[in-house]
Structures are given as C-alpha cells and as structure tokens.
Amino acid sequence: MARNLSEAARKVLLLGQCVPTVKHNATKIRVKRLELDENLLMFFKKDEFYYCHDPEKQCKTGDIVLIQALPQKLTKLITHQIKEVVYPFGDITDPITGKKVAKEKYREDIERETEVYGKLDSTFDYNKAPPRGWQEGKKDFTAKPTYTKYHVFDENDPYAI
C-alpha cells in the first residue's frame, strides 16, 4: 500500500513558477499551495520549493512549468525534473484565438494602430526582436537573486544592491 502510494506520488505532475537561484546546475521552482489550519478552519497559502534537473536550460526565471519527481535523487538537493514549459514569462498567448497578447491588447492591433499613424525608425518590431535573454547579465539582472551589499569585494557584483 505504502509503496503504491509513493510510486503514485512520484508520477504526480506539479505546476510551479521558476524563481531566481544562485545554483548553476539546477533550477528552483516554487509551487504554491493552500494549507488548512484545523483550528481556524481556514486555508493559508504555503510555498514549497523544489530544485529541478534541467540540463538543456529550457526554463528561465518567471516561466510557469510542469515538474515531476526523478526516479532517483540526483543529489541531496535535486529531486525533480522539468517536464514542460507551459507559459513562458512575458510572452503571453491568448488561449482562445491563439494570438499573442500584450496586456489587454493583441499585438496585431497595436501594430495596426502604429501603422495608421505612420511607422517611424524608432518603432518596435516584434518580428525583428531577438528572443528573450539577449540582455541577461548586461542590463537585465533578474536571473539571480539580488541582495544588500555587505562587503567591498575586489570585483563588483551587479546583483548586490
């Protein structure tokens, strides 16, 4: 019975969000859950963190992903693996029409609007824009967690605030 339960638990897929970590060979996934307080009979939110094996580096910070337990633990820390990236961060597709969305508007509509007014050289073009990650480590410091600066090191760490 117990073995069956543990096997079933291993096959369960979890939906979580990728959060920044310092680890190079693993990604940290936050799974949000609700926990019942039996005294108050109320649900409170509770975060659980899993370190996942991701050799191809398919997921980046902020992505919503599906994770599954590994048949054997890779290390003491890494217990799960990334199954699939469900929603890439900041690149939203409308599930009904299948079109790309920026906030409350379709990207198509935004482009059509600018075309009516007349395009300029400075106009942003979605088709020409490179995929996410070309500013990582240059001007966009969100891959690792930031912290308050506590010491003057020889090399200046951009993640120290």
Partner 1 sequence: MLRCLTSAIVQCRGIKQQAKIKWVRPDYVPSYKAEKSGDLENIPKISDDALGLDYTLSGELKDAPESVKKIFSVAHLGPKEYKTLVKEALTERVKQHQYDDTTVEFKVAKMTAQIRCLQETMDKHPKNVIAKKACQELIDKRKKTLKLLRQYDYKKFEWLLEKLNIEYKAHPDTYNKLSRKESLKKLTELHCEDVRNKKLDEYRNLLESQQGPFLEDKLNALKFIKSEQMELQLPVTVTDQDIKKVEKQFNEWKIKNEIKQQGKKKKRHLLLEDSE
What would the x/- binding string for partner 1 be over residues 47 to 76, using CB under 8 A?
---------------x--------------
The DSSP call for residue 104 is T
Cβ-based nearer residue to partner 1, 7 or 140: 140
Calculate the CA dihedral of residues 37, 38, 40, 45 and round it to 10 degrees: 10
111 strand-pairing partners:
none
First to last CA, the chain: 52
- Closest contact distance (angstroms) between CB of 66 and partner 1 is 20
Residue 158 sits in the site that holds partner 1 (CB under 8 A): yes
Question: In this complex, which beta carbon is closest to partner 1, that of residue 95 or of residue 131?
Answer: 131
Of the residues 20, 21, 53, 83, which one makes contact with partner 1 according to CB under 8 A: 20
What is d(CA 107, CA 90) in angstroms, rounded to the nearest whole number? Answer: 13
Give the span between the Cα atoms of 2 and 86, in whole angstroms: 31
Smallest distance, Å, CB 161 to partner 1? 6
44 near partner 1, rule: CB under 8 A: no
Q: How many CA atoms lie within 13 A of 32 on its CB side?
A: 8
Single out the residue of 53, 77, 66, 70 nearest to residue 17, CA to CA: 66
Nearest distance in Å: CB 21, partner 1: 12
Going 51 to 82 to 84 to 10, the CA torsion angle's sign is negative
Q: Residue 35 interacts with partner 1 (CB under 8 A)?
A: no
Using the minimum distance from each CB to partner 1, give the nearer residue, 70 or 88.
88
Question: Which residues make beta-bridge pairs with 78?
Answer: 51
Provide the binding-site residues for partner 1, judged by CB under 8 A: 20, 62, 89-92, 101-103, 113-114, 117-120, 122-124, 126, 129-132, 134-135, 139-142, 145-152, 158-159, 161
